[in-house]
Amino acid sequence: MRELAVLNTPRAPAGLPTVTVDLALHIGEVLYGNVGGTDRLDFTVIGAAVNEVTRIEALCEPLRKTILASAEFAAALDKSDRLVSLGYHRLRGVREAKEIFAPAPNSIS
């Protein structure tokens, strides 16, 4: 994210397009590999964890954050000082509301 900011700094005043990225972090089991037939073959990742992280990423804009993390990721990171809870949010297609985290102010250096 820092490097994107560096890249965008001269572009915005020059009227050039800038790059924006939203990032969602989650931990879970996935299946990956080539899917399709001989006429069309794609490498992909599927599973409940993929669906959940996609739904978390969709919260970036309404929560006005570029990085979000699931409770599972926060637990693995030891969230005590690096992440802050943004509360519980409903994710489309996920049965229960999930606690969502964002980096604590000044934790990304």
Q: What is the pLDDT of residues 7-22, one digit of tens each?
A: 999 999 999 999 999 9
Question: Tokens in use for 8?
Answer: 């965008």
pTM higher than 0.95, yes or no?
A: no
Span 22-103 CATH architecture: 2-Layer Sandwich (3.30)
Average pLDDT of 74-86?
A: 86
Question: How do residues 52-66 score in pLDDT, each as one tens digit?
Answer: 999 999 999 999 999
Please give the C-alpha separations between residue 62 and each of 26, 29, 50, in angstroms, as whole numbers: 19, 27, 20
| For residue 109, pLDDT beyond 60 | no
The residues, ordered by sequence, that sit 6+ positions from 108 with a Cβ below 8 Å of its Cβ are 1, 2, 67
- How confident is residue 79, by pLDDT bands cut at 50, 70 and 90? low
Share above pLDDT 90 across residues of the chain, in percent, rounded to a whole number:
73
Give residue 20's identity as a one-letter amino acid code. T
